[in-house]
Amino acid sequence: MTKYDSLAKHYLSRRQDKTRFDYNRDIEVPALIKFIGDVKGKTILDLGCGFGDHAQKLSKQKYKQLIGFDISKELVKFANEQKIPNSEFYVGDMSKKLKHKDSSFDIVYSSLAIHYLKNIDKLYKEVNRVLKKGGVFCFSTGHPIFNLINQTKKSMIGSEKTKSGKRIIYGNYFNEKPQLNSLGSLGKLKICNYTYETLIKTGLNNGFELIDYKDIKPTASSKKYDADKHRLTSTLPTFILFKFQTK
Ligand SMILES: C[S@@+](CC[C@H](N)C(=O)[O-])C[C@H]1O[C@@H](n2cnc3c(N)ncnc32)[C@H](O)[C@@H]1O
């Protein structure tokens, strides 16, 4: 059983709770949907699909087929229960070789999942293999700036000198080793805080071109849930989006 299996119900209800600010619903989900762009008639693979939130929203555009998988059985069960048209979800691990044929998708996307992998080189290679020529790989992950703040006990970034002249440095941008990350009321999970260099160069080294990028801000309407979190996430970006294209 994965951590997300035990969290599944809570994870789902938190997303649906219209009384509080939710980092996924109010920042990441709408931004990634918009960033992916037109999906009408496309074949799509969703890596780390969770309960199928993105798939459900994209399905309004009538894609040809969407396949999603996630390591959490519970979340996959919820995704299948939604009965999203032209979609299927299975339990799978994105750190392993993908079971799909070469050149079988127009779009591969992944929402806030790649940072759970200790090796993203293998994933980019696999994504490149299953994408058609000219196909796109879109993903969201933690923003390196926010990750750095999350790492520091003082919730701050940079360094300061004490009266004795000793320099204290908060966080380590270059530390990509797995470390515990707070998911608020969901507890803590180990993630890898990848640098811009790793996220970009791994794509360039694996047959992709970088064609778009975004620092995500929260939706304007989410201010009503929590003005303080809205201000924080409008000032310090929480998530980033990358779009790569196969050559
Ligand atoms: C932050 S959640 C995002 C889920 C979904 N994209 C959404 O927005 O609801 C991260 C997801 O990645 C999944 N995950 C973590 N490691 C994975 C792996 N190795 N293979 C597949 N899924 C994984 C988790 O089970 C979880 O559903």
Residues within a 6 A CB radius of ligand 1: 2, 4, 24, 48-51, 53, 70-72, 75, 93-95, 111-113, 116
Nearest ligand 1 atom, CA 48: 22
- Quote the pLDDT of residue 62: 95
- Quote the pLDDT of residue 11: 85
Question: pTM for this one?
Answer: 0.95
> Which candidate, 120, 79, 125, places its Cα nearest to that of 98?
125
Looking at the chain, how many residues does it have?
247
User: What is the DSSP code (8-state) at residue 228?
Assistant: H
The residue whose C-alpha atom lies closest to atom 10 belonging to ligand 1 is: 113
Distance from Cα 199 to the centre of ligand 1, integer Å: 18
Nearest ligand 1 atom, CA 111: 6
- Quote the pLDDT of residue 181: 81
The residue whose C-alpha atom lies closest to atom 14 belonging to ligand 1 is: 48
Tell me the C-alpha distance between 187 and 3, whole Å. Answer: 9
The residue whose C-alpha atom lies closest to atom 8 belonging to ligand 1 is: 111
- Quote the pLDDT of residue 198: 98
Distance from Cα 110 to the centre of ligand 1, integer Å: 8
User: Which residues in 68-82 are b (16+ Cβ under 10 Å) and which e?
Assistant: bbbbbebbbebbbee
Ligand 1 binding pocket mutation candidate from 6, 27, 116 (most atoms within 8 A of CB): 116
- Quote the pLDDT of residue 6: 85
Split the chain (247 residues) into runs of 10 and give each run's mean pLDDT. Answer: 84 88 96 98 98 98 98 96 98 98 98 97 98 98 90 77 91 92 78 97 98 98 95 95 98
The residue whose C-alpha atom lies closest to atom 16 belonging to ligand 1 is: 116
For the 3-142+195-246 domain, the top CATH level (class) is: alpha beta
- Quote the pLDDT of residue 18: 87
- Quote the pLDDT of residue 153: 67
**Backbone φ, ψ for residue 242 (5° rounding):** -125, 145
Report whether 34 contacts 102 (CB < 8 A): no
Helix (H) or strand (E) holding 74: helix 73-81
- From first CA to last CA, the distance across the chain in angstroms is 38
Distance from Cα 109 to the centre of ligand 1, integer Å: 12
